[in-house]
Chains A and B, each alone.
Chain A
Amino acid sequence: LRGIAALACAMALVPGVGPALAADPAPTEYQLKAVFLFNFAQFVEWPADAFASADTPLSICVLGKDPFGSNLDEVVRGETAAGRRLVVERHASLSDVAACHILFVPASQSRDVDGLAVRSRDSRTLLVTDGPQQGAMIGFVKERNRIRLRVNLAAVNQAQLSISSKLLRIAEIVGPRPEKR
């Protein structure tokens, strides 16, 4: 019930979308991307050392200028993933970034991706980029008005994260073949 309520709330927060669901206009790009970021928390599993303690919240970080506006906060508010609270953190520069579980790098910050790739691998951070980026773990790719996911499975594996096969089935896998763990 909680999920449904959250979804209903999320829908209600989408700009131009009134409380009446009957109108149901197509969601905007960043509304979708906000939901996607939230959903990553559902389909990705972090190792236990990624969290300081049992009640450490799962943090979703946005680097640089935030393209979501309030969308992401609306989506995440009150939600949990694997029993952990979700928090949204915004970091202005690369140096500020620390202890993020999911790090979204907008297209404007794409030059920081190479540096982040190594750091993310060590800090067990799922590096998500807006648009296909070398070194990103998951990239949002716009394809014929649809947002597709491109997953660098080798990078994910190096960060010791495991992505649900369900997600992988709908995603485009790039990079070298992951070695067996």
Chain B
Amino acid sequence: MRAQTPIRRKLLMVVLLTSGAALLLAMLAFIGNEWFAYRSATQQRLNILGEVIATNSTAALAFDDPQGAAQTLDALRADPDVRGAALYDARGALFAVYPERKAGDVAGRVPDRAPEGALATSDEALQFSNGKLSGFLPVAENGRRMGTLYIEYDMRALRGRMLLFGLIALGVMCAAGLLAYVLARKLQRQITNPVIALTEVAKSVADRRDYSVRAPPHEGLELGKLTGAFNLMLTQIEEQLRRLHLLQQITRGIGERHDLPSIFQLVLRTLEDHMKVDFTLVCLLDAQSEALTVETVGGRSREAAASLGLTEGTRVPIDGNGLSRCIRGELVYESDVRALDFPFPSRLASGGLRSLVIAPLAVESRVFGVLICANRIENAFESVDCEFLQQLSAHVALASHQAQLHGTLQRAYEDLRQTQHTILQQERLRALGQMASGIAHDINNALSPVSLYTQFLLEKENSLSVRARECLVTIQQAIDDVASTVGRMREFYRPREAQLALAKVDLNRLVHQVLELTRARWRDVPQASGSMVELHTDLAQDLPQFMGADAEIRDALTNLIFNAVDAMPAGGRLTLRTAVRTAEKGGAARRVVVEVADTGVGMDEETRRRCLEPFFTTKGERGTGLGLAMVYGMVQRHSAELDVRSELGRGTTVELGFQAPESAIDPTVGVRALRVPAKRMRILLVDDDPLLTECLRVMLEEDGHQVEAADGGQHGIEAFRAAKSAGKPFGVVVTDLGMPYVDGRKVAAAVKEISADTPVILLTGWGQRMQEEEEKPEHVSIVLSKPPKMHELRAALADVSAPEPARERA
């Protein structure tokens, strides 16, 4: 049977072959038996017949009556299968023959004489040979041998009979085969149908991956078991697939979430929806690994959790059993918590819960929490459930870990962005400041001759008319204002670069001054337009003094008050408050704070963020955008703090916080040394601006000094060296800082090299900055800013010409 033959045909063929073989064997046995029985019966019958003929032939032989003998033999006619018979007399001669010989017969079937051997034997039996039964029988009467009978029987009848039997057997076999076929075909279904059904189910499972199909149940013993086992296997596969799908679903779900509560909530809800659990809980281990804290309770477990006292935030001490094993990283399964004598299982048992699974949440083999599932039925969790929960807890742990990392990363990124924003702001201010600084330098240089000649005229020209002198004074004031404005504009961004020396500041006094100075703005102007600004001051008593620049702080407060009034076009309440605050974290311990608050329009977030930027304004053409930027510059220079709080429509509060000194301030600091009038000196002037050198030379010579001017650094150094070698050295060198090729620093270095004692005064458009930062270049004694003021120059000359101690004090 081939491998592709269907089981039905195989079974059918097995049945048919088996029954056919059995039947064939039976038939052969039957025919064989029939053959031998028939032969034996025929032999016996013929022997008897022979005996009868022989007995009846004795008289015919005895009385020589062949006719009578022939008549006796003729009785054999009754059996058509007797082919021939003959009677021989005592001497063996043929006596009578059957059938009677006719005229044409050349040779009969019977022998003409009885063989010698046949005469000798008395009990001869008939024998089979050549398809016939033949033999010689003795003929005797009362023991006397009368003759011999020969008889021949044709066995064709036997063959015919056997043929008939064969045909009958064939017919029976055919009928039996047909019957067997019909029966087997009908009965084999009991075996093949379930097998075929199983095959169909297996095929549909394999083809469509549909594990929900089931083979129809079967009652047979083995096939029933097979079908049952197959169906069970399908159920298990389906269950496993379901869990796999669930795991995938949960994993995907928690992969999209970045916060722990949301992850845990999702996991617990999915567990409650898809697993047989009555109570779910996630606990996190505290840092010291001493106790668990309930982090999340499953949505349907809230009631039970409340009754068990396991609401979110509850601390659960770690038990001897169960929990502690889980903390070590094992999955714990208890089929019945009533059997356990530990606090936590007992607590669950008191709530009607029976079976319990605790799965550890571990990252890099460090357990940070546990997932708890419980059921009201004992033995509710199978090993596949435990396996599933273990896998799930591994995924949850990983996701939690990632969520934590994500949070950390997010915070770091936020910090970085804030820092970057601050740096960007500072950088922008610095760039603007540098640009302003360059412009200021050029303006200062350009103003220098104007300033110097104006001072010169006012000092030396006594013949000026009153009108002219007034004009000159105005010019001088305007120049000072320009220089001051330019200076501030240039400096507003610089940290701690006060134009003036720091002095003790009384903040309350400054507030009063500013209020007086700005009265027109906050009271008179609004009143004129029909609105009312209500002033409210809240000044702390015993405010500590601190070091600062009065003028800058005054300017800043003025700016803030202007802004506040501008923010209240329809009137409102203006509040100025001073206080001492103790800072919460970092920074100075105590701060002196002044606050300017309004109840105006406020700022949106964008405006609040950009309000300190230079040139950013909300006032259109009326504003310069520099007000708050100036304030910010002042704050930076004082190492103070600026806080802008604003709410759209509710108002803005700007707070300035200054560091309060730790101890009382030394009153002598910042007081200028006593000036000593300068003696007459030989002065070398070095500058690349002939207008300025000429102007300075005239003025210094007017003071009685001997002045020589050099155009540029190189000429200056050469002139100094020449004078030194000529024995007429200069007492002091006044040089410009910014010169092409050889600048002021190089000049100073060269001068010190030639004559170490000769002081160098540096004039510079950058001078103010150098003074404040104590960025005094090497070899330079004093730095003066442009445009030069004659009284400052004179003071400097006096200083450098004074004895050593006096210079040190400068």
A36–B63 Cα distance when bound, in Å, is: 6
In the assembled complex, which residues on chain A have CB atoms less than 8 Å from the CB atom of B68? 169-170
Q: How far is the CB of A16 from chain B (nearest CB, A)?
A: 16
Q: Which residues in chain B, 49-98, are within 8 Å of chain A measured between CB atoms?
A: 55-56, 58-60, 62-65, 68, 72, 90-91, 93
Q: Which residues of A contact B143 (CB under 8 A)?
A: 3
Bound-state CA distance A59–B6 (Å) is 97
Q: Which residues of B contact A170 (CB under 8 A)?
A: 59-60, 63, 65, 68
Residue of A nearest to B55 (CB): A166
Given contacts A3-B143, A42-B141, A43-B141, contact A24 B91 (CB under 8 A): yes
Residues of B within 8 A of A167 (CB): 59, 62-63
Whether, in the assembled complex, B144 has its beta carbon less than 8 Å from a beta carbon of chain A, the answer is yes
Pairwise interchain contact A4-B90, C-beta atoms closer than 8 A: yes
* B119 CB within 8 Å of chain A: yes
Which residues on the B side are within 8 Å of A21 (C-beta)? 91
Q: How far is the CB of A157 from chain B (nearest CB, A)?
A: 19
Say if the beta carbon of B130 comes within 8 Å of chain A: no
Contact with B along A137-180 (1 / 0, CB 8 A): 00000000011110000000000000010110111000000000
Taking CB atoms, residues of chain B closer than 8 Å to A171 are: 63
Instruction: Find out whether the CB atom of A42 lies under 8 angstroms from the CB atom of B56.
Output: no
Tell me, in angstroms, the Cα distance from A42 to B59 when the chains sit together. 10
Which A residues touch B465, using CB under 8 A? none
CB atoms of B93 and A24 under 8 A apart: yes
Judged by a CB distance under 8 angstroms, whether A82 is at the interface is yes
Check if A32 is an interface residue, CB within 8 A of chain B: yes
Tell me the complex Cα distance, A167–B58, Å. 9
A39 touches B145 (CB 8 A): no
Q: Is B129 an interface residue (CB 8 A)?
A: no
Knowing A24-B93, A169-B68, say if A4 contacts B56 (CB, 8 Å): no
Whether the Cβ atoms of B59 and A11 lie closer than 8 Å is no
B56 surroundings in chain A (CB, below 8 A): 166, 169
Chain B CB within 10 Å — which of A42, A81, A147, A171 has the most?
A42
- Contact of A94 with B by CB under 8 A: no
A7 within 8 A of B: yes
8 Å CB contacts to A: which residues of B109-161?
119, 140-145
A window 1-42: CB within 8 A of B: 3-4, 7, 11, 21, 24, 32, 35-36, 39, 42
Q: Chain A: interface residue count, which band?
A: 20 to 34
The distance in angstroms between the C-alpha atoms of A121 and B472, with both chains bound, is 227
> Please, which residue of chain A has its CB at the minimum distance from the CB of B144?
A3
Contacts of B144 in A (CB 8 A): 3, 42
**CB neighbours of A166 from chain B (8 A):** 55-56, 58-60, 141
Q: Give the interface centre of B58, B62, B72, B143 by most chain A CB atoms within 10 Å.
A: B62
Say how far B169's CB is from chain A's closest CB, in angstroms.
47
A169 and B59 contact, Cβ closer than 8 Å, known pairs A7-B90, A21-B91: yes
Residue of A nearest to B93 (CB): A24
Q: With a CB–CB cut-off of 8 A, which chain B residues contact A36?
A: 62-64
A3 adjacent to B145 (CB under 8 Å)? yes
A11 close to B141 (CB less than 8 A): no
Chain B contacts for A35, CB-based, 8 A: 62
A166-B62 Cα distance, complex, nearest whole Å: 10
In chain B, what residue has the closest Cβ to A81?
B142
B91–A11 touching, CB < 8 Å: yes
Q: How far is the CA of A36 from the CA of B119 in the complex (A)?
A: 22
Q: Are A43 and B59 in contact, CB atoms less than 8 angstroms apart?
A: yes
Complex Cα gap A4–B59 (Å): 17
The docked-state distance in angstroms from the alpha carbon of A175 to that of B119 is 40
Measured CA separation A4–B93 after assembly (Å): 14
Instruction: Judge whether B64 and A147 touch: CB under 8 Å.
Output: yes
Provide the bound-state CA to CA distance between A149 and B72, in Å: 17
Smallest CB separation, A60 vs chain B (Å)? 15
Known A42-B62, A149-B63; judge A4-B142 contact (CB<8 A). Answer: no
| In the complex, chain A residues 35-56 whose Cβ is within 8 Å of any chain B Cβ | 35-36, 39, 42-43
Q: How far is the CB of A38 from chain B (nearest CB, A)?
A: 9
Closest to A43 in B: B59
Specify which chain B residues have a CB less than 8 angstroms from the CB of A82 in the assembled complex.
142
Q: Which residue of A lies closest to B145 (CB)?
A: A3
Q: How far is the CA of A169 from the CA of B72 in the complex (A)?
A: 10
Proximity bits, B315-348, A CB within 8 Å = 1, else 0: 0000000000000000000000000000000000
Distance in Å: Cβ of A133 to nearest Cβ of chain B:
18
- Which of A32, A81, A167, A171 has the largest count of B CB atoms less than 10 A from its CB? A167
Chain A residues contacting B59 (CB-CB under 8 Å) are: 43, 164, 166-167, 169-170
Question: Scoring A residues 75 to 88 as 1 if CB is less than 8 Å from chain B, else 0, what string do you get?
Answer: 00000011000000
Which chain A residue lies CB-closest to B122? Answer: A1
A130 to chain B, nearest CB (A): 15
Q: How far is the CB of B107 from chain A (nearest CB, A)?
A: 20
Flag if A32 contacts B64 (CB, 8 Å). Answer: yes
Chain B residues near A81 (CB-CB < 8 A): 142
> What's the nearest-Cβ distance from chain A to residue B123, in Å?
13
Residue of B nearest to A7 (CB): B90
Kindly list chain B residues whose C-beta atoms are within 8 Å of the C-beta of A148: 65
Cβ-defined contact, B142 with A42, below 8 A: yes
- Closest A residue to B65 by CB, please name it: A170
CA distance in complex: A55, B736 (Å): 205
Report the bound CA distance from A165 to B64 in whole Å: 16
Residues of B with C-beta under 8 A to A169: 56, 59-60, 68, 72
Q: In the complex the two chains form, what is the Cα distance from A35 to B56 in whole Å?
A: 19
Indicate whether A4 sits within 8 Å of B63 (C-beta atoms), given known contacts A24-B91, A166-B58, A169-B56. Answer: no
CA distance A120 to B142 in the complex (A): 26
Choose from B55, B62, B72 the contact partner of A43 (Cβ within 8 Å): B62
Q: Are B63 and A39 in contact, CB atoms less than 8 angstroms apart?
A: yes
Complexed CA–CA distance, A169 and B59 (Å): 8
How distant is the Cα of A157 from the Cα of B119 in the complex, in angstroms?
Answer: 37
Q: Give Cα A39–Cα B60 distance, bound, in whole angstroms.
A: 11
Cα A36 to Cα B65 with chains together (Å): 11
* Cα distance A21–B145 in the bound complex, in angstroms: 17
List residues of chain A with CB within 8 A of the CB of B142.
Answer: 42, 81-82
In the bound complex, CA of A32 to CA of B328 (Å):
139
Contacts of B140 in A (CB 8 A): 3
Smallest CB gap from B62: residue in A: A39
Among A7, A42, A146, which residue has its beta carbon within 8 angstroms of that of B64?
A146
A179 to B587, CA, bound (A): 178
Q: Which residues of A contact B65 (CB under 8 A)?
A: 146, 148, 170
- Given the complex of chains A and B, what is the CA–CA distance between A146 and B69 in angstroms? 14
A147 proximity list for chain B (CB < 8 A): 63-64
CB neighbours (8 Å) of B62 from chain A are 35-36, 39, 42-43, 167
Query: Once bound together, how far apart are the Cα atoms of A7 and B64, in whole Å?
Result: 14
- A95-112 vs B, CB cutoff 8 Å, 1 = contact: the mask equals 000000000000000000
Nearest CB on B from A174, distance (A): 16
Rounded to whole Å, the gap between the CB of B299 and the closest CB of chain A is 127
Cα A4 to Cα B139 in complex, Å, equals 12
Q: Which residues, 3 to 61 on B, are CB-close (under 8 Å) to A?
A: 55-56, 58-60
> Are A7 and B63 neighbours in the complex by a CB distance under 8 Å?
no
Of the candidates B119, B140, B145, the one having the most CB atoms from chain A within 10 angstroms of its own CB is: B145
Give the most central of B58, B63, B141, B142: most A CB within 10 Å.
B63
**For the complex, what is the distance from the CA of A167 to the CA of B63, rounded to whole Å?**
8
Picked from B60, B64, B72, B119, the residue with its CB within 8 Å of the CB of A4 is: B119
Q: Which residues of A contact B60 (CB under 8 A)?
A: 166, 169-170
Q: A36-B64, A146-B64, A167-B62 are in contact. List 12 more A-B contacts (CB 8 A).
A: A3-B143, A3-B145, A4-B145, A21-B91, A36-B62, A39-B63, A169-B60, A169-B72, A170-B63, A170-B65, A170-B68, A171-B63
Counting from the closest, the 9 A-B pairs by CB-CB distance are A166-B59, A170-B68, A3-B144, A39-B62, A170-B65, A3-B145, A7-B90, A167-B59, A170-B59
Write 23 A-B pairs (CB below 8 A) sorted by A numbering: A4-B90, A4-B145, A7-B145, A32-B64, A36-B62, A36-B64, A42-B62, A42-B144, A43-B59, A43-B62, A146-B65, A147-B63, A148-B65, A164-B59, A166-B56, A166-B60, A167-B62, A169-B56, A169-B60, A169-B68, A169-B72, A170-B60, A170-B65
